[in-house]
Amino acid sequence: MLTENKEKTPIVSVITPTYNSEQFIAETIESVIKQSFSNWEMVIVDDCSSDSTVDIIKQYQMIDSRIKLYELDENSGAAVARNKSIRNANGRYLAFLDSDDLWYPEKLEKQLAFMEKNDLAFSFTKYQRMRLDGTLTNNISKTPKSVGYHDLMKHCIIGCLTVMLDRQKIDNIEMKNIRRRQDYALWLTITRKGYRAYGLPEILAKYRLGQNTVSSNKFKAAKGQWYVYRQIEKKNLLISSYYFLHYTFHGLHNALKSKMKINER
């Protein structure tokens, strides 16, 4: 088990981009503050919010010095915000948490122990989907033992809010400057180098379903997926079509299951 020493550099840097997140950011920060493992820093980068997001974050900074805030000069997208957060991170490990999602209190403790015990560079966990109002659905992500590059090209089963990366093992962690699927593109970059992502089969996070999120717009998500195949991974038309067929099949299958489970009471 990793030992804690608050006098030393934080072990975990929580990477959080924000944009007009006043409705949820306080709850997200609280879920980090309540972690059973306390040797962390939360590096928040605000992407020119026009609401009270920054004011809320500053209030938390006054009571917890582990919370760091940086503000972009112009609205630039989640990839730019995440990359600035990564550049300003001091921890050995990076953990990703968007401004409307939540962690369970033992998330960091359990995942760090899992990574150290198994000497891992890249891990992820299960997460449970919740509605916009925070009520939980019965839709829980799957967590295979491990996935590699070709698995992820067919279907990205990894939730960004569950990922933890070891920067001593993985060099030059940076997201592609694209508006959609930048987290997915990073997982592909890492696994293309030969790393595998290992799943911890415990529900340690809650993903908020939103009416205006990219994931709720299937057409935009599909366009983003195709763009990654063709422009980021530089696959030809035939290979891209092969992987896209797998992506479409999984998408239709999961959408049907999600619709059934989300509506369950």
Residue 122 lies in a domain: yes
| Rounded to 5°, angle at Cα 102 from 100 and 107 | 150
Residue 236 lies in a domain: no
pLDDT (0 to 100) of residue 246: 87
pLDDT (0 to 100) of residue 4: 45
Residue 171 lies in a domain: yes
Residue 3 CB coordination number (10 Å): 7
Residue 45 lies in a domain: yes
End-to-end CA distance of the chain: 38
Residue 118 lies in a domain: yes
Positions of the chain with pLDDT lower than 50, given as ranges: 1-6, 212-216, 261-262, 265
Residue 265 lies in a domain: no
Read off the pTM: 0.88
pLDDT (0 to 100) of residue 57: 98
Angstrom distance (rounded) from CA 21 to CA 17: 10
Angstrom distance (rounded) from CA 134 to CA 207: 9
Q: What is the CATH number of the domain that holds 124?
A: 3.90.550.10
Distances (CA, A) of 23 to 26, 99, 113, 114, 228: 8, 9, 32, 33, 31
Residue 20 lies in a domain: yes
Residue 60 lies in a domain: yes
In the chain, how many domains are there?
1
DSSP designation for 134 = S
Residue 42 domain boundaries: 12-211
